[in-house]
Chain A
């Protein structure tokens, strides 16, 4: 789908991308991993035709695209979508007109724009927020809108540059799920740029590890996790906290001044169902003391956050291993 041939990019002496050759297969999710400053964003800007390489060539299928200019370049860009870490939605537009923007600038008629926007908002399950200003959305909702906007022109390729890095683990998971879903349904080629191993493990089929502007490893995710590694690859893989993306049923015992309010707050903040296994509220010396056992389905990261959160409210909490 995408072929890079010996591409390089230099910024005032910094060799951000150094002679990279890479093939990204159609209809897959390809991860690009590396430390901060490794050259991932530069590489994706070259692939998404935002910048021209100093050297080398970029092909979409068999069509050379790195030397396009003017109208041809703009039309080519419309065949790809991109989402970013900080969403980059237009604050001057509401949800509807953010998603409508790419269609609007392509001269699509009003009626078709409207239909397509409804379709897209349906896809990301945010039809109810159609008139909302961007500032009224949560991070996860913003990213969903950004994804809808990126898909407006039925692109064949979707680039995600740290698309989940600004989100909490719980929301990260839902966004990854959405991307996976869309990829399946629309036969998309997805390029996921990330520094988070969890993201790669969760949705990528292939991964390229970049360091100092060079590809130091390029293989299937299965292989990456099956064999021991050295150097940067090892550094990136070993601190893996797989637990951060795996949802597990956790049983917690809470004692303290807990009321049902706190439970519903937990459900709201951490987007999780709270099941009360047993519970009682007793009055001791005119103070109500509650004693609850609850069940939540959450990742380990979220569990730790919740524990810290409740302890800060002087609620004793114990994890029961069910």
Chain B
């Protein structure tokens, strides 16, 4: 019994590391791509910092289309791109490409809506003090929106963990792959349960960390929550 559990634990180590690698990579790249896009979506909207109505409409459309793309299909479409960037279209590193692309519009929307919630009057106050647009974005809007941004990024990472499991089953390796290969194909329910448990722990941990950070910021700002 103990031996069996130990064996499952051993089997879980490598896929867990692959999943962490995929999630971390996709988080970093989706943030790098999605953050500027989210800022652009916000500041170019009507009545905001640099209104560019047509440009904003087009950008909105593109993000929406990207966001509504089924992930599986997106993966297949970006196979050539993954091959071009990573050198192969299978494996953990290759899976980071579609994961990042899938999460990017999600990140963009979250950043956008967090920034849109910043009180326009505060932005006006910053403006009258002689701030440049760049200073308003980086010294006012982003810091003011910090709690909402952290909450949004937490949600993004949790989503990526889910997608990573799916990507795993399509040749990306990791926990999703393990669950499918053992649980589904070899009827090893125990292995599948182990894989699912690890995924749940990951999600819970990320959520806990995110909540903790938001709580800390709120407290520093003199706001107690719950």
Contacts and interface: CB of A to CB of B under 8 A. Distances in A.
B119 interface: yes
Range class of the A interface residue count: 20 to 34
A42 B40 CA distance: 27
Interface in B129-152: 129-132, 135, 139-140, 143-144, 146
B118 to A, nearest CB: 10
A84 B125 contact: yes
B127 interface: yes
Contacts of B132: 74, 105
B221 interface: yes
A84 B121 contact: yes
Given A93-B143, A133-B222, A77 B121 contact: no
Contacts of B4: none
A74 B131 CA distance: 7
B1 interface: no
The main secondary structure of chain B at its interface with chain A is helix
A135 interface: yes
Contact of B127 (A77, A134, A153): A77
A101 interface: yes
What 8 A-B pairs come out closest when comparing CB atoms? A133-B222, A135-B222, A92-B143, A88-B125, A78-B130, A136-B222, A102-B129, A77-B130
Interface of B: 119, 121-122, 124-132, 135, 139-140, 143-144, 146, 220-223
29 contacts: A49-B128, A74-B130, A74-B131, A77-B127, A77-B128, A77-B129, A78-B130, A80-B128, A82-B125, A82-B128, A84-B125, A86-B121, A88-B119, A88-B121, A89-B122, A89-B125, A90-B126, A92-B146, A93-B143, A101-B139, A102-B129, A104-B139, A105-B132, A105-B139, A133-B220, A133-B221, A135-B223, A152-B129, A153-B130
Interface of A: 48-50, 74-75, 77-78, 80, 82, 84, 86, 88-93, 101-102, 104-106, 132-136, 149-150, 152-153
